[in-house]
Amino acid sequence: MQEVRLEVNGKRISKDVPDQTLLSELLRDILNLTGTHIGCDTSQCGACVVHVDGKSVKSCTVLAADINDSKITTIEGLSQNGKLHPMQEAFKKHHGLQCGFCTPGMVMSAIDLLKNKKNPSDQEIRDWLEGNICRCTGYQNIVAAVKEAANKS
């Protein structure tokens, strides 16, 4: 067992967890933040993307103990005072989802993209989201949503 201290969505937490606990397991199974989805357990799909110290990370690839004292933001931590994040609003407006399973990871990855590139081209968006798999949408509406959010930031 190891004590893990993190700031998750603005709240300080401290939990004793087994050494091999993945960040995705800590978030979903211990903290009940189920917006972080587990799709493949092999880091291929991107459904588990969260921000660790402001950067997008596939949470199924990170041991919770390895990121002690980090700041974690999950999809649940994006809205402020009941208002959706601009990226969430854009996904909603452009219907950048169908089944919704990949959506949290897509949104978290897209937010990180816009921190790095203010006005990305369609190809740059597609390249950045390459590690996030959507089996439903064909990506057109996702790209449109990211473009709209870029125009609003």
State the DSSP H helix or E strand holding residue 114, giving kind and residue range, or none if neither: helix 103-116
| Average pLDDT for the chain | 95
Report whether CATH 1.10.357.10 matches the domain 86-152.
no
In words, the CATH class of domain 2-77 is alpha beta
Per-residue pLDDT tens digits for 26-81: 999 999 999 999 988 788 999 999 999 999 999 999 999 999 999 999 999 999 99
Cβ partners under 8 Å of residue 144, min gap 6? 94, 96
Per-residue pLDDT tens digits for 125-143: 999 999 999 988 889 999 9
Per-residue pLDDT tens digits for 107-129: 999 999 999 999 999 999 999 99
Query: Domain extents for the chain?
Result: 2-77, 86-152
Predicted model pTM: 0.95
| 8-state DSSP, 83 | B
E-strand stretches of the chain: 2-8, 11-17, 49-52, 55-58, 71-73
Going by C-alpha positions, the residue among 61, 91, 55 that lies closest to residue 73 is 55
